[in-house]
Amino acid sequence: MKTPDEEVAEKILLQFQETKLLSEKGIKKIGESLSTGNLSYEDWRLIFETDRLEKEDQNACKSP
Amino acid sequence: MPAKVHKISLVGFRGATVPVEINFDTTKPVALIFGENGTGKSTIADAFDFACNGGFGSLEDRSFPGQAKSHIPALGQSAQDLKVLLNTSNGTFTATLNQSGPSVSPTTGCPDARILRRSNILQLLNAQPKQRFEALKSFITVPGIEKSENALRDVSNNIEKNFNEAVRSYSQAITELEKLWDAEGKPETDALKWAEAEATKDIAILEKRIITISEIEVAFQNAETSLSPLDSALSELTSAQTAQAKAQEEQKQEEVKQPKIDGTLLALLRDAKSYIAGHKPMSQCPVCEKEIEADRLVGQLEARMSEMRALSTAINTVSMAKRGVENKESIVFQTRKEFLKHISKLASAFNACPLSEVTALNIHWPDFQDLLNPAGYTEILENKARELWKTALPCRQPLGNRKRADQKSIDQKNAIKGHFETHTEKLQAALELSNLSLKLKKALEIVSQQRKAYVEDVLSAISDDIERLYSKLHPGEGIGNIRLYLKPNAIGSLELDAHFQNVPDIPPQAYYSESHLDTLGICVFLALAKHFKTADTIVVVDDVVTSVDGSHLDRFMNLLHAEATSFNQVIITTHYRPWRDRYRWAKGSTAKTQVIELGPWTLLNGLQAGHFVTAVKELKTAVENVAFDRQAVASKAGIVLESLLDFITLKYHCWVQRNTRNEYTLGDLSNAIDSKLAKVLHCRRPSGAVSEKPVVSIKPLIDAATEVQWIRNCVGCHLNALGSEISDTDVRCFARAVLTLADALICQSCGTLPTRRPSGSYWQCVCGELELHPLVYPGADPRMIDDED
């Protein structure tokens, strides 16, 4: 049985996915830590910055 | 397996001065522990708190800050002897008291007891919104998500701050560049293009020129610094030479005054005296070898030298002047050397300098070749140096001006470069941060919304449940619409609103009566307990009902019975006798409720947990008892008959002759059931056993019982002669007639009278196995009847 934290975390991650706020990889990194409160300031920052850089790299590769 | 408590045993715990066991019938969802004040109800509730929650129960609500532990053991007993044992469907748990507080073994699997006391109700309702939130925080919040959300908020705020800082920096940089661009007359098409061009320009030439000029300036400075001492030394030398010439002239004049003597003689005499004085005793002249008297000769020499004192002084003066000249000449030499050294450096710097300020001087360097590599430090060279100094001096100021202009130019270019780089760098950073900030804000919005939605959903579900429960207790009373909600834009503020006489959004604690608040508190508690129950949750309600009228008590009992199905077990304590009597007089189902009756507490005997029996069962036992108590049987039978007739006459609104005491005899009540009602009054058991009659007419049973009702007065109530003539058999007959009527009217399954109204045509017991027909007195309007009571 899921805890309330896990239930809310699941909904949050789903919405992240639907709104394409983060890549699958980024969402995976957030994973279980979201519900347990183990996502620190550095974690959030690193996940979003890495995601942005990776998207920029992908865009750079696509452009001729 | 759901946790259910079969037995709780208290040893040395609070009021349990003597070990006591209370057994629970786990087939019944509700256990009602009745006891008058001071019989130990709270001791039992506290024992559940102690064993299940590691708490000190009601002692925690009282003014014993930190001392509750010392008051938990029973009077005169030690903490080491204290023990609470729970026999449950999950095993036996033993709670003891140690240094750190209550300790339970085994540590897992013990039921989770949610305990409601009257003090909790007041705390829950009267608390400030913030305190109410704190009290329920652990239930309605998602702490893990909140923690992650706080970290995300920090990141989002910080990134936004960095973004604003980057925007401020590049805006400031462009403003500065525009100022510089404007000052330069706005070359190029815009300030940024101009700045980019300026930033790439080479400033090495300017820097090199500044170095060259700086070297010349140092040389100028050093030469200037060394020239002044030289001039002073030359001036002092001239003075010394003048003084020497004057002293020599004075000596010559003295020698002219005394032609026989001169300085040479004076020196000879001085030396002779010195020699003789130093070689005493001396008897012979060391020059002519004649006999001499040394002392006398020294005296003669001193006399002669005294005659030559003026000349001597003049000679000394000349000698000193000579030394002064020599000294000054030495200083001149040193300062000249220093000056020439610095002029030489200046000459070299000038010679190598291509700057127009220098070349415009048109120095004829062959004339100053000696200065470039000085071989000595002569006066001639000094004169050349002085000439070069005079020649070079006019370009000193223009060179300084050139240097300052160059430095200003470099500074400006550096500033342009710095501002341009800042602009470029911060603009890029702002773009990146803007993107990141938007994403983080969106993420924060999602996290925050989902968390709030969860909390609101929980509160909404709880509010709905509270409202559902409360409307069952107070139908049509113009109160209810209870709403628990978080105050918008406030941190941790849990509001509680309700309706009062259809006025919405009022704080119930300001308008509701005390009993309405009590029931509201119970509904809030039950809704919370239900919403947050676990597989091990049991509910203990400790004496929360103070005084309610009959209809509210019945609704409350029905509510508890209905809600008890949501929990493993509901244990209620009460001192409210009407509640207990509902079960005694078959108004409450003993099939669903176990009633436990507490006897009077004493220090010697402790808690007394006794058996509870219904009035009918008590009568049955008394009738069958070998040691037949005829007075008790007649009395009990009379009271049971009275209660049954009371039930029927009330249900059908029968006519009785009123009196001021509101007391009616058995005759009054039985006569009130007239023939019109008697014809149709019957009980029916739709699914009864074959041996049982499916339909039983009630009136004949009433007649059978009331026919001999006088036995109650004669045997059970008063002392009279007639009583002595009545046999035990007659008393038994009376009692059995009453029991027959009781068996017909009380359901054998649930033990209740048919007090409920499931349809429009009859009354029904709690379990539905017994029906009482009709619903109303023949011909009466069904809408006029009271609802179930």
Over the stretch B575-591, which tens digit does the pLDDT of each residue have?
Answer: 999 999 999 998 888 88
Residues B720, B749: one domain? yes
Among the three residues B564, B588, B612, which one is the final residue of a domain in this structure? B612
Given this model, what pLDDT does residue B392 score?
93
Locate the domains of chain A by residue range. Answer: 4-62
Question: Has residue B594 been placed in a domain?
Answer: yes
Residues B574, B639: one domain? no
Residues B642, B776: one domain? yes
Higher-pLDDT residue of B615, B716: B615
Of A34, A41, A43, Cβ closest to residue B145: A34
Question: Has residue B656 been placed in a domain?
Answer: yes
Answer yes or no: is pLDDT of B573 > 50: yes
Beta bridge partners of B595: B32
Over the stretch B437-454, which tens digit does the pLDDT of each residue have?
Answer: 999 999 999 999 999 899
Residues B70, B130: one domain? yes
Question: Has residue B423 been placed in a domain?
Answer: no
Alpha-carbon gap: B424 to the closest alpha carbon of chain A (Å): 19
Query: Of how many residues is chain A composed?
Result: 64
Over the stretch B145-176, which tens digit does the pLDDT of each residue have?
Answer: 999 999 999 999 999 999 999 999 999 999 99
- Kindly identify which residue of chain B lies nearest to residue A33, measuring between CA atoms: B148
Answer yes or no: is pLDDT of B64 > 90: no
What residues in chain B have their Cβ under 8 A from chain A's Cβ atoms? 142-148, 151-152, 154-155, 158-159, 432, 435-436, 439-440, 442-443, 446-447, 450-451, 454, 458
For chain B, the domain total comes to: 2
Answer yes or no: is pLDDT of B265 > 70: yes
CB pairs under 8 A between A and B: 80
Question: Has residue B737 been placed in a domain?
Answer: yes
Structural contact between residues B310 and B222, judged by C-beta atoms closer than 8 angstroms: no
Alpha-carbon gap: B144 to the closest alpha carbon of chain A (Å): 4
In the DSSP assignment, the letter for residue B487 is P
Residues B679, B713: one domain? yes
Over the stretch B168-215, which tens digit does the pLDDT of each residue have?
Answer: 999 999 999 999 999 989 988 899 999 999 888 888 999 999 999 999
The residue among B741, B788, B740, B734 whose CA lies nearest residue B766 is: B788
Alpha-carbon gap: A60 to the closest alpha carbon of chain B (Å): 15
- Kindly identify which residue of chain B lies nearest to residue A50, measuring between CA atoms: B436
Residues B606, B623: one domain? no
Which of chain A's residues have a Cβ under 8 Å away from the Cβ of B137?
Answer: none
Residues B543, B626: one domain? no
Residues B576, B558: one domain? yes
Question: Has residue B358 been placed in a domain?
Answer: no
The residue among B16, B4, B73, B12 whose CA lies nearest residue B44 is: B16
Q: What is the DSSP string of B681-713?
A: -EEE-TT--TTS-SEEESHHHHHHHHHTTHHII
The residue among B531, B522, B533 whose CA lies nearest residue B557 is: B522
pLDDT band at B136 (very low <50, low <70, confident <90, very high): confident
Of A4, A15, A41, Cβ closest to residue B454: A4
Given this model, what pLDDT does residue B630 score?
92
Residues B597, B689: one domain? no
Question: Has residue B580 been placed in a domain?
Answer: yes
Which of chain A's residues have a Cβ under 8 Å away from the Cβ of B462?
Answer: none
Stretch B227-250: mean pLDDT, rounded?
95
C-alpha to C-alpha distance for B520 and B526, rounded to whole angstroms:
10
Range of the domain at B758: 618-784
Residues B21, B107: one domain? yes
Given this model, what pLDDT does residue B201 score?
86
Which of chain A's residues have a Cβ under 8 Å away from the Cβ of B454?
Answer: 4, 7-8, 11
Among the three residues B592, B612, B632, which one is the final residue of a domain in this structure? B612
Surface-to-core class of residue B608, CB atoms within 10 Å of its CB (0-12 exposed, 13-18 middle, 19+ buried): middle
Higher-pLDDT residue of B134, B609: B609
Question: Has residue B81 been placed in a domain?
Answer: yes
Residues B576, B533: one domain? yes
Contact B446 A52 (CB under 8 A): no
Beta bridge partners of B484: B496
Share of chain B above pLDDT 70, in %: 97
Contact B151 A41 (CB under 8 A): yes
Residues B703, B648: one domain? yes
Given this model, what pLDDT does residue B56 score?
86
Strands (E), B489-626: 494-500, 503-506, 537-542, 570-574, 593-602, 606-610
Higher-pLDDT residue of B13, B61: B13
Stretch B311-339: mean pLDDT, rounded?
93
Answer yes or no: is pLDDT of B489 > 80: no
